Structures are given as structure tokens and as C-alpha cells.
């Protein structure tokens, strides 16, 4: 169960969140719990969760280890401050910051090299779904961004299916729509990496996940977890998502 805070919360707001959130999820040992704050608050978050089961991730990374890349942050830097995870290829990165399937692959390889667990995002836009291109888009994103990993690398990633039309819009994909897309992705995995990889890979759903719809989504065996934006910003709402079993 992962929270993507996007560009929300200052350091004091980060501390205040964890003070409330940690006790609320103290008995949740059925899942991994990950929060991805903005870069500047990662240290605060890592310190706040120490001694708990909650892990912290970045929202992006650059593929070089270090160098003259003004404004960028590398995998080894994230790992050195105690991050365990990193989101890669979020649709907002694709839409506003020129992320492509090719750069998704480079970032994923860099994350793995730094010992981070990548959460690699894929998902179709509204016009692609309406044009009947969902499967084709997911296949293209898989082929360009994920299929270039070795089987050993692939075993360490988590995939997040985030239909762009459901992000921040209040329009959740129905559990059925999400499960169908997950099946398409799992079939890509099976074809490239084999049956064991397909059954073992965790595929998260993301897009307007809320305490009110989490039960229906998690009832689908295809859905292994969720990547939550807006509803992860409030301790009680993200805790009720995490605690749903
Ligand atoms: P919302 O949950 O706000 O729709 O955002 C989803 C998302 O983009 C998570 O990465």
C-alpha cells in the first residue's frame, strides 16, 4: 500500500502526518506500507518512521550516479538517506517532464543498481481508452519501459497501473476495469518473463483510490495493492486504506 504525496506537504506537515499515522497502522502487518514524499522531506520522513514497518520512497530519480545534472537526484543519494523505494514513470512525469518508456527503463535500471525497489507506472489516457487502444498502450509501455530488464531485475520491481483518466479526477476505474488491465499487464509479463514471474509480480492500482472504494478494489485477486495520491495525504484516510483487509 503506497502513498504518492506528489508536490504536497512541508517538513513540519510531514512530521505531523507521521505522528498521527504511525499509531493508526501499528497492527497492519499484512502488507508493505510505503510513503513517497517530495525530495526535500525524505530525511524528515525516514527519521519519523524509524522503528516502524513503514518505508519511504522517492517520486523519481535520475539515472546517473552523480554528475553535472543541475536539479537532479540519484539512486545512491536516495539509498544513502534511507529510502527503500522509488516511483518511476508516473503519468505526471510523462505528461509534464518529458518522461518516455526509454527513460523509464534507464531510471528503473539505475534504481535497481542502487538497491531501491522501483514502482514502475503504466496507464492509458482517456482518448486512448475511448479509442480502444488500452491494450496496445499498455503493451507499448511494457515493451519499451519494462521488457528490457533482465529476469533478475524484473523480479524486484512492482508495477503500478494508473489509468490517467482516473488520477485526481474522482473517477476510479471499477474493480472490473482495473482487474482487466492488470490481466493484460500480467499476460505481457508471462510472455516475456514466464509464468512464475507473472504470478509473483505485484501490480498496484492507482487512480482516485479512497477509503470508500478500497474494499471493492482489493477484492479482485488481480489487484495486489494500491498507489494512492490525494487520499494518502490525510493520516486517517490513508490508514483506513492500509487497514482494509
Ligand atoms: P489520486 O489518488 O489523487 O487520484 O492519484 C493517483 C496517483 O497518481 C498516485 O500515484
pLDDT of residue 245: 75
pLDDT of residue 236: 98
**Is residue 182 among the annotated active site residues?**
no
239 alpha carbon – ligand 1 mean position (Å) = 16
Q: Where are the domains of the chain?
A: 2-242
- Is there an atom of ligand 1 within 6 Å of 206 CB? yes
pLDDT of residue 239: 98
pLDDT of residue 218: 97
Low-confidence ranges of the chain (pLDDT < 70): none
pLDDT of residue 146: 98
Catalytic residue from among 128, 162, 182, 222:
162
- Is there an atom of ligand 1 within 6 Å of 57 CB? no
pLDDT of residue 194: 98
Question: Which tens digit of pLDDT belongs to each residue from 80-124?
Answer: 999 999 999 999 999 999 999 999 999 999 999 999 999 999 999
**Is residue 90 among the annotated active site residues?**
yes
68 alpha carbon – ligand 1 mean position (Å) = 32
pLDDT of residue 35: 98
pLDDT of residue 170: 84
pLDDT of residue 171: 84
196 alpha carbon – ligand 1 mean position (Å) = 29
Tell me the Cα Rg of the chain. Answer: 17
Measured from the Cα of 166, ligand 1's closest atom is: 4
67 alpha carbon – ligand 1 mean position (Å) = 31
pLDDT of residue 168: 87
Domain 2-242, what architecture? Answer: Alpha-Beta Barrel (3.20)
Amino acid at each position: 500500500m503506497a502513498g504518492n504525496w506528489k508536490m504536497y506537504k512541508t517538513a513540519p506537515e510531514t512530521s505531523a502526518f507521521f505522528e498521527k499515522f504511525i499509531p493508526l497502522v501499528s497492527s497492519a502487518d499484512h502488507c508493505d506500507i510505503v510513503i513517497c514524499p517530495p525530495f526535500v522531506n525524505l530525511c524528515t520522513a525516514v527519521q519519523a518512521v524509524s522503528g516502524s514497518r513503514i518505508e519511504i520512497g522517492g517520486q523519481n530519480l535520475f539515472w546517473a550516479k552523480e554528475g553535472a545534472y543541475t536539479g537532479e537526484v540519484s539512486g545512491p543519494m536516495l539509498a544513502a538517506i534511507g529510502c527503500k523505494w522509488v516511483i518511476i514513470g508516473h503519468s505526471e512525469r510523462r505528461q509534464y517532464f518529458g518522461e518516455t518508456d526509454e527513460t523509464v527503463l534507464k531510471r528503473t535500471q539505475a534504481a535497481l543498481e542502487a538497491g531501491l525497489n522501483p514502482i514502475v507506472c503504466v496507464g492509458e489516457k482517456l482518448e486512448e481508452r475511448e479509442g480502444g487502444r488500452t491494450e496496445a498502450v499498455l503493451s507499448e509501455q511494457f515493451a519499451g519501459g519494462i521488457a528490457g530488464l533482465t529476469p533478475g531485475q524484473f523480479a524486484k520491481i512492482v508495477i503500478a497501473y494508473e489509468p490517467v483518466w482516473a488520477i485526481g479526477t474522482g473517477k476510479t476505474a471499477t474493480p472490473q476495469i482495473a482487474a482487466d488491465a492488470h490481466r493484460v499487464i500480467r499476460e505481457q509479463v508471462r510472455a516475456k518473463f514466464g509464468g512464475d514471474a507473472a504470478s509473483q509480480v505485484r501490480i498496484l492500482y492507482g487512480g482516485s483510490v479512497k477509503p470508500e472504494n478500497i474494499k471493492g478494489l482489493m477484492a479482485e485477486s488481480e489487484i495486489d495493492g494500491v498507489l494512492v495520491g490525494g487520499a494518502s495525504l490525510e493520516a486517517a484516510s490513508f490508514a483506513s486504506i492500509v487497514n482494509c483487509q
